[in-house]
Amino acid sequence: MRAGDGEFSASAVLAQRPLRKIQKDDKNMEEIEVRELKKVKLEKPVMIEGLPGVGNVGKLVAEHLIQELNAEKIVEIYSWHFPPQVLVNNDGTVRLCKNEVFAWKSKTKQQDLLIVSGDEQSVTNEGHYFITETLLDLAQKYKVSRIFTLGGYGIGQLVEKQSVLGAANEIGLVEEMKKYGVEFREEEPGGSIVGASGLLLGLGRLRGIPAMCLLGLTSGYLVDPKSAQAVLKVLCQALNLEIGMQALKDRAEEMEKVIERLKEMEKAQIPRHREEELGYIR
């Protein structure tokens, strides 16, 4: 995996790896395990990635879409590169961390969807590349027409006015998304877009897949359903998708009480987190 000078070998990281199916007699998990639960036929679907990150903005949107559309889980992805832990179920049993892909087939003229959600992102640099390549393998398998990645952009303070920032791997997408109110500011998003939300754009470009990232402004302090609402609204406009938002609105109202407490803490001049800790975008 590493070149002689100790740095990552770009060719190794970017190499496309075939999907591996688990056999019944397999007992040892490999580096990337792809469990295809069901085969579905989709018509040039749009892939939507909403994995955990700042404010859990993308994850909130993805989970809301899955629930509202009653999307069907078709793939589970396991990896050594997820955190070394298990999650405890309500019944006391445990399970490994995983990413999941859900399919939704439109009964009208709306576009079919592949929705990516999950428990965690990779904790290693190599894992981010391998897992993203696995998602792109699936995207190509289902002939995805474009990809939307969703996340939060932490600004280190409470957000007074919601807005959605954007980044894309094609200039045509920039102009298209401006029509839906997405902002493309100079020098923002600052730094880089970390994890799957960024790599799906960069590696997707190498495969000729148009991809767009939508980032909702968020404080970075807590889970932010209000920012998720703003991102979902733009996404629905871009996809011409009608979907209820009441569940997110309810969660946002619950968070308002927490935000009021945070405002009181700010007035009391309680130290904030360091800016660099809030600058990551996922």
- CATH number of the domain to which 179 belongs: 3.40.50.10900
Question: Would you say residue 14 lies in a domain?
Answer: no
> What pLDDT is stored for residue 265 in this prediction?
78
Please indicate whether residue 56 or residue 266 has the higher confidence score (pLDDT): 56
Q: Rounded to an integer, what distance in angstroms lies between the CA atom of residue 166 and that of residue 7?
A: 31
Question: Would you say residue 182 lies in a domain?
Answer: yes
70-93 pLDDT tens trace: 999 999 999 999 999 999 999 999
Question: Would you say residue 104 lies in a domain?
Answer: yes
**Mean pLDDT confidence for 178-206:** 90
Q: How many domains does the chain have?
A: 1
Give residue 112's Cα distance to chain centre: 18
Q: Rounded to an integer, what distance in angstroms lies between the CA atom of residue 237 and that of residue 260?
A: 31
Question: Would you say residue 149 lies in a domain?
Answer: yes
**Mean pLDDT confidence for 244-261:** 83
CB of 196 within 8 A of CB of 216?
no
109-151 pLDDT tens trace: 789 999 999 999 999 999 999 999 999 999 999 999 999 999 9
CB of 200 within 8 A of CB of 149?
yes
What value does the mean pLDDT of the chain take?
Answer: 87
Q: Does the pLDDT value for residue 248 go beyond 90?
A: no
CB of 131 within 8 A of CB of 150?
no
> What pLDDT is stored for residue 93 in this prediction?
98
Closest CA to 59 of 195, 174, 155, 167: 195
Q: Rounded to an integer, what distance in angstroms lies between the CA atom of residue 129 and that of residue 114?
A: 20
> What pLDDT is stored for residue 13 in this prediction?
46
143-190 pLDDT tens trace: 999 999 999 999 888 788 999 999 999 999 999 999 999 999 877 666
CB of 38 within 8 A of CB of 74?
yes
> What pLDDT is stored for residue 273 in this prediction?
54
14-42 pLDDT tens trace: 455 555 555 555 568 889 999 999 999 99
Question: Would you say residue 31 lies in a domain?
Answer: no
Question: Would you say residue 115 lies in a domain?
Answer: yes
Residue 221: pLDDT band with limits 50, 70, 90: confident
Q: Does the pLDDT value for residue 4 go beyond 90?
A: no
Question: Would you say residue 16 lies in a domain?
Answer: no
In three-state secondary structure terms, 143 is coil
Cis bond upstream, residue 189 (ω within 30): yes
In three-state secondary structure terms, 20 is coil
> What pLDDT is stored for residue 10 in this prediction?
43
**Mean pLDDT confidence for 37-57:** 96
Exposure b/e, 14-46, CB count within 10 A at least 16 = b: eeeeeeeeeeeeeeeeeebbbeeeeeeebeebb
Domain that holds residue 270: 44-278
Token pair for 160: 């007074």
CB of 105 within 8 A of CB of 48?
no
**Mean pLDDT confidence for 218-228:** 90
Token pair for 174: 């920039």
Question: Would you say residue 170 lies in a domain?
Answer: yes
